[in-house]
Structures are given as C-alpha cells and as structure tokens.
Amino acid sequence: MSLKATLSLADPGMLDPVQHGLRLLIDDAQGLRYTDLTLPPNPQPFGDPGWQATSTGWKFRGKGRITSVKIKRAASAPGELIMAMRGKDIVSGVPPAANLPLKVTAVLDPPYATTGLCAEIGFPGPPGINPSCRERGSSVTCH
C-alpha cells in the first residue's frame, strides 16, 4: 500500500506524532472496516526507529505493517499537511466492487481525535474519474 494525501487541519500547531502517534482507518462505502492500525508514539516497541521530528515535519520508520510515514507542512497553505505512507498487508481482505469507494481516516491524536486532529481522504468518483477506487482481481487501487 502507498498513500499520498493533502490533509487540512484546523489547528496543526497541536500536531506532534512523536508524542501522540498516528491511527489509520480504512472503511468501505457500506461502513465495513478493513484496517485499524495505530503507530504508537515514541519510544517504539521491538526496536523500531519510530518517529522523528524534521525541519519540515515528521517521519516514521518501522518494521511492522506500516513501514514509513512522512508528514510535512505545506509551505503554500497554513493548516495543510502532506502525508505519504507506505506499508504491507495493510488491508485485511479485498472489498467487493459493490462496496467501493473506500475512505481513509488519519487520526493524528489517537485513539479518538479528541483535539480534532484528524482528516478523511475519500475516493468518491466512479472508476476512471479521480479520485476513485477500482477493483483489480485480488486487489483494489485508489487514486
């Protein structure tokens, strides 16, 4: 899995994944949940490098299902962040085409976004109209 998205937050000044971690949720159009993963704040279990603050945001490296995350502040727009994420075996099962599109929720103050630091990434379009999802055999691709 790879995901790249622009997130808009009301108050990104409160964001600190090093202290709070990140939770990733993936649901289909019927409300069925395919993913619920949390990257804990530092220190990381199992000797993973974990979260690091950078000059433009934060990055994460790990050995689990989510292997890397980069979150950086968008220079052109206050309140916007660019998030890129990579992982393996993130989604349990393949949603049937009838259950598309998918919705990705990034919770940046896990577990419940009590401070409002969360964003939803939707893929509402029909296949071929971006952003959308398409079933391809045993996988689903969303752009």
Looking at residue 84, what is its pLDDT?
Answer: 92
What is the secondary structure of 8-71 as a DSSP string? Answer: E-S-GGG--HHHH-EEEEEEETTS-EEEEEEEPPSSPGGG--EEEE-SSEEEEE-SSSEEEEEE
The per-residue pLDDT for range 97-118, each reduced to its tens digit, is: 788 888 999 999 898 888 888 8
Residue-averaged pLDDT of the chain: 85
Q: Give dist(CA 28, CA 116) in Å, integer.
A: 22
Q: Is 97 helix (H, G, I), strand (E, B) or coil?
A: helix
**Average pLDDT in the 35-44 region?**
86
Structure token pair of residue 74? 């968008």
Q: Which residue type does 115 have?
A: T
The pTM for the full model equals 0.85
* Dihedral sign (CA 80, 107, 123, 82): positive
The per-residue pLDDT for range 53-83, each reduced to its tens digit, is: 999 999 999 888 889 999 998 888 878 899 9
